[in-house]
Amino acid sequence: MDNKQRHSVVTTLSLIRRQSATYLPIGHSFIPYDILVTVVENFTSGKELTVKALFASLPYSDMGLRYHFRKLVQSGWIELQTTNDDARVKQVKPTEKLKKHFEMLSQAVLPLLNGESFQHDN
């Protein structure tokens, strides 16, 4: 990879991070970002995601995950639903709020992923 390509990759990653912060409540931590992306990824793939499976899939401490997870539920970004099999097992789903904001984020970064030129401020 030459310097021009490397610069392009770094610029694209920086823009995606800034757009993510605009549309999602990620703050200073990647934990909420990873939780939200995992929830949306599983939902759009039609996969059931339990709280236990979500926590097991992310490389963070349980304490850190619980803190951010609770904040995302309380602020209406993700919701919990009981499963038919066991009322103690909770599925994690995106709320309409998260679906809407993720769609706006997708529209904002789509030009970057398609290789189109993207106007931005440095």
> Mean pLDDT of all residues in the chain?
89
Q: Please give the class, per CATH, of domain 3-113.
A: mainly alpha
Residue 90: which H helix or E strand, with range?
A: strand 90-94
Distance CA 30, CA 1 (A): 27
What pLDDT is stored for residue 119 in this prediction?
Answer: 42
Question: How many angstroms separate the CA atoms of 46 and 13, rounded?
Answer: 27
pTM of the model: 0.85
The string of pLDDT tens digits covering residues 1-48 is 778 888 888 888 888 899 999 999 998 889 999 999 999 999 999 999
Domain boundaries, the chain: 3-113
